[in-house]
Amino acid sequence: MKLTDLDIIVTAPPAPGWGGRYWILVKLSTDTGITGWGECYASSIGPEAMKAVISDVFTRHMEGENPENIELMFRRAYSSGFTQRPDLTVMGAFSGLEIACWDILGKDRGRPVHALIGGRMNDRIRAYTYLYPLDGHDMDTFWTDPQAAGESAAAMVDLGYTAVKFDPAGPYTIRGGHMPAMSDITTSVAFCKAIREAVGDRADLLFGTHGQFNTAGAIRLGQALEPYSPLWFEEPTPPDNIEDMARVARNLRIPVATGERMTTKAEFAAVLRAGAAEILQPALGRAGGIWEMKKVAAIAEAFNAQMAPHLYAGPVEWAANIHLAAAIPNILMAETIETPFHNDLIRGAIKVEGGFITPPDAPGLGIEVDEDLARAHPYTGDGLHLQMQEQPCDYANGNNFQGGAPASKV
Protein backbone atom coordinates (compact mmCIF):
# COMPACT_ATOMS: atom_id res chain seq x y z
CA MET A 1 0.00 0.00 0.00
CA LYS A 2 1.35 3.40 -0.99
CA LEU A 3 0.21 7.00 -0.62
CA THR A 4 -0.70 8.38 -4.02
CA ASP A 5 -2.90 11.49 -3.91
CA LEU A 6 -3.59 14.55 -1.76
CA ASP A 7 -6.63 16.82 -1.71
CA ILE A 8 -6.90 19.91 0.50
CA ILE A 9 -10.16 21.60 1.51
CA VAL A 10 -10.20 24.93 3.37
CA THR A 11 -13.64 25.23 4.91
CA ALA A 12 -15.06 28.12 6.93
CA PRO A 13 -17.48 27.42 9.78
CA PRO A 14 -20.62 29.54 9.35
CA ALA A 15 -21.44 32.33 11.79
CA PRO A 16 -20.71 32.75 14.61
CA GLY A 17 -17.63 30.78 13.58
CA TRP A 18 -16.59 28.95 16.75
CA GLY A 19 -13.38 27.07 16.06
CA GLY A 20 -11.51 29.77 14.13
CA ARG A 21 -11.91 31.47 10.77
CA TYR A 22 -11.22 28.32 8.75
CA TRP A 23 -10.21 24.68 9.02
CA ILE A 24 -7.72 22.96 6.72
CA LEU A 25 -8.84 19.41 5.95
CA VAL A 26 -6.59 16.99 4.07
CA LYS A 27 -7.66 13.86 2.23
CA LEU A 28 -5.06 11.22 1.36
CA SER A 29 -5.59 8.33 -1.04
CA THR A 30 -3.68 5.09 -1.57
CA ASP A 31 -3.07 2.82 -4.51
CA THR A 32 -5.42 0.32 -2.84
CA GLY A 33 -8.36 2.74 -2.98
CA ILE A 34 -8.45 3.68 0.72
CA THR A 35 -8.82 7.33 1.70
CA GLY A 36 -7.99 8.96 5.02
CA TRP A 37 -8.81 12.34 6.54
CA GLY A 38 -6.68 14.66 8.63
CA GLU A 39 -6.72 18.28 9.77
CA CYS A 40 -3.84 20.76 9.82
CA TYR A 41 -4.08 23.20 12.71
CA ALA A 42 -1.86 25.97 11.40
CA SER A 43 -2.41 29.69 11.83
CA SER A 44 0.92 31.40 11.24
CA ILE A 45 0.48 31.85 7.47
CA GLY A 46 -2.60 32.22 5.28
CA PRO A 47 -4.47 29.20 3.95
CA GLU A 48 -3.32 29.52 0.35
CA ALA A 49 0.32 29.62 1.43
CA MET A 50 -0.35 26.77 3.85
CA LYS A 51 -1.84 24.65 1.08
CA ALA A 52 1.47 25.00 -0.79
CA VAL A 53 3.40 23.93 2.32
CA ILE A 54 1.14 20.92 2.85
CA SER A 55 1.56 19.89 -0.78
CA ASP A 56 5.34 20.23 -0.55
CA VAL A 57 5.55 18.17 2.65
CA PHE A 58 3.41 15.46 1.06
CA THR A 59 5.25 15.24 -2.27
CA ARG A 60 8.70 15.60 -0.71
CA HIS A 61 8.37 13.27 2.27
CA MET A 62 5.28 11.07 1.92
CA GLU A 63 4.10 10.46 -1.63
CA GLY A 64 4.76 6.87 -2.70
CA GLU A 65 5.50 5.81 0.90
CA ASN A 66 3.70 3.10 2.83
CA PRO A 67 1.40 4.90 5.32
CA GLU A 68 2.63 2.46 7.99
CA ASN A 69 5.99 4.20 8.04
CA ILE A 70 4.93 7.04 10.32
CA GLU A 71 8.29 7.28 12.09
CA LEU A 72 10.24 7.46 8.85
CA MET A 73 8.00 10.17 7.39
CA PHE A 74 8.12 12.16 10.62
CA ARG A 75 11.92 12.07 10.65
CA ARG A 76 12.04 13.22 7.05
CA ALA A 77 9.79 16.20 7.72
CA TYR A 78 11.51 17.01 11.03
CA SER A 79 15.08 16.72 9.76
CA SER A 80 15.22 17.51 6.05
CA GLY A 81 16.22 21.02 5.16
CA PHE A 82 18.95 20.87 7.84
CA THR A 83 16.51 21.55 10.69
CA GLN A 84 16.07 18.76 13.25
CA ARG A 85 14.16 21.14 15.48
CA PRO A 86 10.49 22.02 15.88
CA ASP A 87 9.10 24.03 12.97
CA LEU A 88 5.58 25.31 13.57
CA THR A 89 4.50 25.50 9.94
CA VAL A 90 6.08 22.30 8.64
CA MET A 91 4.86 20.32 11.64
CA GLY A 92 1.40 21.83 11.19
CA ALA A 93 1.39 20.45 7.66
CA PHE A 94 2.82 17.07 8.62
CA SER A 95 0.48 16.63 11.59
CA GLY A 96 -2.69 16.71 9.52
CA LEU A 97 -1.17 14.37 6.95
CA GLU A 98 -0.04 12.00 9.72
CA ILE A 99 -3.57 11.89 11.16
CA ALA A 100 -4.84 10.92 7.69
CA CYS A 101 -2.31 8.07 7.58
CA TRP A 102 -3.70 6.64 10.82
CA ASP A 103 -7.22 6.92 9.39
CA ILE A 104 -6.02 4.90 6.38
CA LEU A 105 -4.28 2.28 8.50
CA GLY A 106 -7.34 1.78 10.70
CA LYS A 107 -9.60 1.39 7.68
CA ASP A 108 -7.16 -1.04 6.06
CA ARG A 109 -7.15 -3.22 9.16
CA GLY A 110 -10.80 -2.73 10.12
CA ARG A 111 -9.80 -1.32 13.52
CA PRO A 112 -10.17 2.04 15.26
CA VAL A 113 -7.03 4.15 15.53
CA HIS A 114 -6.83 3.79 19.30
CA ALA A 115 -6.55 0.01 18.87
CA LEU A 116 -3.39 0.57 16.80
CA ILE A 117 -1.60 2.81 19.31
CA GLY A 118 -1.89 0.74 22.48
CA GLY A 119 -5.54 -0.18 22.72
CA ARG A 120 -8.52 1.17 24.57
CA MET A 121 -7.43 2.38 27.99
CA ASN A 122 -10.46 4.59 28.60
CA ASP A 123 -14.07 3.75 27.78
CA ARG A 124 -15.11 7.38 27.97
CA ILE A 125 -13.33 10.72 27.93
CA ARG A 126 -14.22 13.63 30.17
CA ALA A 127 -15.09 16.64 28.00
CA TYR A 128 -14.89 20.35 28.65
CA THR A 129 -16.25 23.32 26.78
CA TYR A 130 -15.49 27.00 26.39
CA LEU A 131 -18.28 29.27 27.56
CA TYR A 132 -20.19 30.76 24.63
CA PRO A 133 -23.14 33.18 24.59
CA LEU A 134 -26.58 31.69 25.09
CA ASP A 135 -29.67 32.87 23.24
CA GLY A 136 -30.48 36.30 24.61
CA HIS A 137 -26.90 37.18 25.51
CA ASP A 138 -25.27 40.15 23.83
CA MET A 139 -22.61 38.74 21.50
CA ASP A 140 -20.39 41.81 21.90
CA THR A 141 -20.48 42.25 25.69
CA PHE A 142 -20.63 38.58 26.72
CA TRP A 143 -16.84 38.27 26.99
CA THR A 144 -16.66 40.79 29.86
CA ASP A 145 -20.04 40.03 31.50
CA PRO A 146 -19.61 37.85 34.62
CA GLN A 147 -23.36 37.34 35.06
CA ALA A 148 -23.77 36.07 31.50
CA ALA A 149 -20.75 33.79 31.97
CA GLY A 150 -22.31 32.33 35.10
CA GLU A 151 -25.55 31.67 33.21
CA SER A 152 -23.68 29.99 30.38
CA ALA A 153 -21.67 27.89 32.84
CA ALA A 154 -24.80 26.73 34.64
CA ALA A 155 -26.36 25.73 31.31
CA MET A 156 -23.30 23.72 30.33
CA VAL A 157 -23.18 21.96 33.70
CA ASP A 158 -26.87 21.12 33.31
CA LEU A 159 -25.89 19.37 30.07
CA GLY A 160 -23.43 17.24 32.02
CA TYR A 161 -20.14 19.10 31.61
CA THR A 162 -17.91 18.93 34.68
CA ALA A 163 -15.43 21.58 33.51
CA VAL A 164 -15.85 24.93 31.75
CA LYS A 165 -13.24 27.30 30.30
CA PHE A 166 -13.36 31.07 29.98
CA ASP A 167 -10.95 33.87 29.09
CA PRO A 168 -11.85 37.36 30.33
CA ALA A 169 -8.28 38.51 30.98
CA GLY A 170 -7.83 41.03 28.19
CA PRO A 171 -6.00 41.17 24.86
CA TYR A 172 -3.17 39.11 23.49
CA THR A 173 -1.03 41.31 21.30
CA ILE A 174 1.97 41.14 18.98
CA ARG A 175 3.98 42.98 21.67
CA GLY A 176 4.53 39.92 23.87
CA GLY A 177 3.85 39.66 27.57
CA HIS A 178 2.39 42.64 29.39
CA MET A 179 1.26 43.56 32.89
CA PRO A 180 -2.52 43.06 33.10
CA ALA A 181 -4.69 46.11 33.61
CA MET A 182 -6.16 46.29 37.08
CA SER A 183 -9.58 46.32 35.42
CA ASP A 184 -8.74 43.00 33.71
CA ILE A 185 -7.78 41.46 37.05
CA THR A 186 -11.03 42.73 38.58
CA THR A 187 -13.06 41.33 35.69
CA SER A 188 -11.26 37.99 35.89
CA VAL A 189 -11.97 37.68 39.60
CA ALA A 190 -15.62 38.61 39.01
CA PHE A 191 -15.89 35.86 36.36
CA CYS A 192 -14.47 33.25 38.72
CA LYS A 193 -16.79 34.38 41.51
CA ALA A 194 -19.90 34.38 39.32
CA ILE A 195 -19.15 31.01 37.72
CA ARG A 196 -18.23 29.37 41.01
CA GLU A 197 -21.49 30.63 42.53
CA ALA A 198 -23.41 29.35 39.51
CA VAL A 199 -21.95 25.83 39.43
CA GLY A 200 -20.72 25.28 42.98
CA ASP A 201 -18.59 22.15 43.15
CA ARG A 202 -20.32 20.50 40.18
CA ALA A 203 -17.64 21.66 37.78
CA ASP A 204 -14.02 22.70 37.58
CA LEU A 205 -13.11 26.20 36.45
CA LEU A 206 -10.52 26.37 33.67
CA PHE A 207 -9.02 29.83 33.42
CA GLY A 208 -7.82 30.47 29.89
CA THR A 209 -5.22 32.96 28.79
CA HIS A 210 -3.09 33.00 25.65
CA GLY A 211 0.43 33.80 26.78
CA GLN A 212 -0.33 37.50 27.03
CA PHE A 213 1.28 38.30 30.37
CA ASN A 214 4.78 38.93 31.58
CA THR A 215 5.93 36.84 34.50
CA ALA A 216 5.08 39.26 37.29
CA GLY A 217 1.74 40.07 35.71
CA ALA A 218 0.81 36.40 35.41
CA ILE A 219 1.67 35.85 39.07
CA ARG A 220 -0.39 38.87 40.13
CA LEU A 221 -3.39 37.68 38.19
CA GLY A 222 -3.04 34.04 39.24
CA GLN A 223 -2.78 34.88 42.92
CA ALA A 224 -5.97 36.94 42.65
CA LEU A 225 -7.78 33.87 41.25
CA GLU A 226 -6.56 31.37 43.84
CA PRO A 227 -9.57 31.69 46.22
CA TYR A 228 -11.79 30.16 43.50
CA SER A 229 -9.53 27.13 42.99
CA PRO A 230 -9.37 26.91 39.20
CA LEU A 231 -8.19 23.55 37.92
CA TRP A 232 -5.73 25.28 35.63
CA PHE A 233 -4.17 28.59 34.60
CA GLU A 234 -3.69 28.19 30.85
CA GLU A 235 -0.55 29.48 29.09
CA PRO A 236 -0.01 32.47 31.41
CA THR A 237 3.18 33.65 29.66
CA PRO A 238 4.37 33.39 26.04
CA PRO A 239 5.00 29.73 25.18
CA ASP A 240 8.67 30.20 24.30
CA ASN A 241 9.50 31.60 27.76
CA ILE A 242 9.64 28.24 29.52
CA GLU A 243 11.69 29.34 32.51
CA ASP A 244 9.38 32.30 33.06
CA MET A 245 6.35 30.00 32.98
CA ALA A 246 8.10 27.81 35.55
CA ARG A 247 8.48 30.87 37.80
CA VAL A 248 4.74 31.41 37.50
CA ALA A 249 4.08 27.78 38.41
CA ARG A 250 6.30 28.02 41.48
CA ASN A 251 4.46 31.07 42.75
CA LEU A 252 0.88 29.84 42.37
CA ARG A 253 -1.38 27.25 43.94
CA ILE A 254 -3.14 26.79 40.59
CA PRO A 255 -1.78 24.14 38.19
CA VAL A 256 -0.34 25.63 35.00
CA ALA A 257 -1.41 24.19 31.64
CA THR A 258 0.19 24.87 28.26
CA GLY A 259 0.69 23.41 24.81
CA GLU A 260 -1.71 24.59 22.10
CA ARG A 261 1.10 26.49 20.34
CA MET A 262 3.81 23.91 20.90
CA THR A 263 5.05 21.19 18.59
CA THR A 264 6.94 17.88 19.00
CA LYS A 265 8.32 16.13 22.05
CA ALA A 266 11.31 18.50 22.06
CA GLU A 267 9.21 21.44 23.22
CA PHE A 268 6.89 19.50 25.52
CA ALA A 269 9.80 17.73 27.22
CA ALA A 270 11.46 21.08 27.90
CA VAL A 271 8.29 22.26 29.66
CA LEU A 272 8.23 19.17 31.86
CA ARG A 273 11.94 19.35 32.71
CA ALA A 274 11.57 22.97 33.80
CA GLY A 275 8.53 22.24 35.95
CA ALA A 276 6.62 24.85 33.96
CA ALA A 277 3.32 22.95 33.68
CA GLU A 278 1.42 20.02 35.17
CA ILE A 279 -1.05 19.73 32.29
CA LEU A 280 -0.12 19.49 28.59
CA GLN A 281 -2.57 20.69 25.92
CA PRO A 282 -1.34 19.61 22.49
CA ALA A 283 -3.33 20.46 19.37
CA LEU A 284 -2.80 17.26 17.41
CA GLY A 285 -3.10 18.99 14.05
CA ARG A 286 -0.02 21.07 14.88
CA ALA A 287 1.97 19.25 17.54
CA GLY A 288 3.34 16.44 15.36
CA GLY A 289 0.37 14.13 15.00
CA ILE A 290 -1.01 11.17 16.91
CA TRP A 291 2.18 9.09 17.21
CA GLU A 292 4.33 12.01 18.34
CA MET A 293 1.79 12.95 21.01
CA LYS A 294 1.59 9.34 22.17
CA LYS A 295 5.31 9.73 22.92
CA VAL A 296 4.67 13.03 24.71
CA ALA A 297 1.99 11.36 26.83
CA ALA A 298 4.55 8.74 27.88
CA ILE A 299 7.07 11.41 28.80
CA ALA A 300 4.39 13.28 30.75
CA GLU A 301 3.51 10.07 32.59
CA ALA A 302 7.08 9.88 33.87
CA PHE A 303 6.71 13.42 35.23
CA ASN A 304 3.30 12.65 36.80
CA ALA A 305 1.71 15.15 34.43
CA GLN A 306 -1.59 14.83 32.58
CA MET A 307 -2.80 15.42 29.04
CA ALA A 308 -5.74 17.58 27.99
CA PRO A 309 -5.82 17.81 24.17
CA HIS A 310 -6.70 21.29 22.91
CA LEU A 311 -9.32 22.07 20.29
CA TYR A 312 -9.97 25.34 18.52
CA ALA A 313 -10.44 23.82 15.10
CA GLY A 314 -12.71 21.37 13.32
CA PRO A 315 -14.02 17.90 14.17
CA VAL A 316 -11.34 15.91 12.33
CA GLU A 317 -8.68 17.12 14.75
CA TRP A 318 -11.17 16.43 17.52
CA ALA A 319 -11.49 12.83 16.37
CA ALA A 320 -7.70 12.45 16.49
CA ASN A 321 -7.68 13.91 20.01
CA ILE A 322 -10.27 11.39 21.15
CA HIS A 323 -8.35 8.39 19.83
CA LEU A 324 -5.20 9.56 21.61
CA ALA A 325 -7.20 10.15 24.79
CA ALA A 326 -8.66 6.66 24.60
CA ALA A 327 -5.23 5.03 24.49
CA ILE A 328 -3.28 6.80 27.26
CA PRO A 329 -3.47 6.38 31.05
CA ASN A 330 -2.84 10.04 31.94
CA ILE A 331 -5.71 11.73 30.15
CA LEU A 332 -7.33 14.50 32.19
CA MET A 333 -9.98 15.71 29.75
CA ALA A 334 -10.42 16.82 26.15
CA GLU A 335 -11.74 20.09 24.80
CA THR A 336 -14.83 20.03 22.60
CA ILE A 337 -16.83 22.46 20.49
CA GLU A 338 -20.48 21.65 19.90
CA THR A 339 -22.00 23.37 16.87
CA PRO A 340 -24.29 22.01 14.15
CA PHE A 341 -21.49 22.46 11.60
CA HIS A 342 -18.98 20.49 13.67
CA ASN A 343 -21.54 17.73 14.08
CA ASP A 344 -22.72 17.67 10.48
CA LEU A 345 -19.22 17.69 9.02
CA ILE A 346 -18.56 14.25 10.52
CA ARG A 347 -22.21 13.14 10.27
CA GLY A 348 -22.65 12.97 14.04
CA ALA A 349 -20.10 10.16 14.41
CA ILE A 350 -18.71 11.43 17.74
CA LYS A 351 -20.83 13.14 20.37
CA VAL A 352 -20.63 14.53 23.88
CA GLU A 353 -23.23 12.80 26.04
CA GLY A 354 -23.65 13.75 29.67
CA GLY A 355 -20.31 15.56 29.62
CA PHE A 356 -18.34 12.56 28.33
CA ILE A 357 -17.24 11.24 24.93
CA THR A 358 -17.29 7.57 23.99
CA PRO A 359 -14.39 6.78 21.64
CA PRO A 360 -15.67 5.39 18.32
CA ASP A 361 -15.13 1.73 17.46
CA ALA A 362 -15.53 2.13 13.70
CA PRO A 363 -12.38 1.66 11.58
CA GLY A 364 -9.87 4.50 11.35
CA LEU A 365 -10.87 7.74 13.02
CA GLY A 366 -14.42 6.42 13.10
CA ILE A 367 -15.84 9.38 11.20
CA GLU A 368 -17.34 9.97 7.78
CA VAL A 369 -16.48 13.44 6.49
CA ASP A 370 -19.25 15.21 4.57
CA GLU A 371 -17.01 16.37 1.75
CA ASP A 372 -19.80 18.21 -0.05
CA LEU A 373 -20.64 20.19 3.06
CA ALA A 374 -16.99 21.14 3.57
CA ARG A 375 -16.65 22.33 -0.03
CA ALA A 376 -19.92 24.26 0.18
CA HIS A 377 -18.39 26.58 2.80
CA PRO A 378 -15.08 27.76 1.28
CA TYR A 379 -13.03 30.34 3.12
CA THR A 380 -12.98 33.61 1.17
CA GLY A 381 -11.46 36.00 3.71
CA ASP A 382 -7.91 37.23 4.10
CA GLY A 383 -7.41 36.75 7.84
CA LEU A 384 -5.43 34.07 9.61
CA HIS A 385 -7.09 31.27 11.54
CA LEU A 386 -6.35 33.25 14.71
CA GLN A 387 -4.82 36.72 14.99
CA MET A 388 -3.25 38.82 17.70
CA GLN A 389 -3.96 42.53 17.83
CA GLU A 390 -1.35 45.24 17.36
CA GLN A 391 -2.81 47.70 19.86
CA PRO A 392 -1.40 47.40 23.38
CA CYS A 393 -3.44 46.63 26.46
CA ASP A 394 -5.72 49.59 27.31
CA TYR A 395 -5.06 50.63 30.91
CA ALA A 396 -7.40 53.65 30.83
CA ASN A 397 -10.62 52.49 29.20
CA GLY A 398 -10.69 48.76 29.89
CA ASN A 399 -10.53 45.91 27.40
CA ASN A 400 -13.30 43.98 25.67
CA PHE A 401 -11.15 41.57 23.68
CA GLN A 402 -13.17 38.89 21.89
CA GLY A 403 -10.27 36.62 20.96
CA GLY A 404 -8.18 35.93 17.90
CA ALA A 405 -11.22 35.06 15.76
CA PRO A 406 -14.13 37.21 16.96
CA ALA A 407 -17.64 35.92 16.36
CA SER A 408 -18.86 36.61 12.84
CA LYS A 409 -22.34 37.99 12.32
CA VAL A 410 -25.13 35.90 10.85
Is there a contact between 210 and 239 (Cβ–Cβ < 8 Å)?
no
Q: What is the pLDDT of residues 393-407, one digit of tens each?
A: 999 999 988 888 888
Using 50, 70 and 90 to split pLDDT, how confident is the model at 204? very high
User: Which CATH class for the 116-364 domain?
Assistant: alpha beta
Using 50, 70 and 90 to split pLDDT, how confident is the model at 386? very high
Residue 410 confidence (pLDDT) above 70: no
Q: What is the pLDDT of residue 43?
A: 76
Region 34-47: mean pLDDT is 94
* Domain layout of the chain by residue ranges: 116-364
- Give the chain's end-to-end CA distance (angstroms, integer): 45
pTM of the model: 0.97
With H, G, I as helix, E, B as strand and everything else as coil, classify residue 206.
strand
Region 48-52: mean pLDDT is 97
CA 102, CA 120: separation in Å to the nearest integer?
A: 16
Looking at this protein, which amino acid is placed at residue 181? A
Percent of the chain with pLDDT over 90: 96
Q: What is the DSSP letter of 386?
A: S
Q: What is the pLDDT of residue 303?
A: 98
Q: What is the pLDDT of residue 384?
A: 94
Helix H or strand E encompassing 367: none
Using 50, 70 and 90 to split pLDDT, how confident is the model at 408? confident
Question: Which of 43-47, 201-205, 305-309, 325-329 is predicted with the least confidence, judged by mean pLDDT?
Answer: 43-47
Q: What is the pLDDT of residues 240-270, one digit of tens each?
A: 989 999 999 999 999 999 999 999 999 999 9
Query: How far from the centroid of its chain's Cα atoms is residue 161's Cα?
Result: 18
Using 50, 70 and 90 to split pLDDT, how confident is the model at 280? very high
Residue 131 confidence (pLDDT) above 80: yes
Of how many residues is the chain composed? 410
Is there a contact between 236 and 222 (Cβ–Cβ < 8 Å)?
yes
Q: What is the pLDDT of residues 74-112, one digit of tens each?
A: 999 999 999 999 999 999 999 999 999 999 999 999 999
Q: What is the pLDDT of residues 335-349, one digit of tens each?
A: 999 999 999 999 999
Q: What is the pLDDT of residue 66?
A: 98
CA 38, CA 67: separation in Å to the nearest integer?
A: 13
Residue 154 confidence (pLDDT) above 70: yes
Closest of 124, 139, 44, 125 to residue 92, by C-alpha:
44
Q: What is the pLDDT of residues 86-95, one digit of tens each?
A: 999 999 999 9
What are the CA-CA distances from residue 15 to residues 88, 117, 136, 318, 408 (Å)?
28, 36, 16, 20, 5
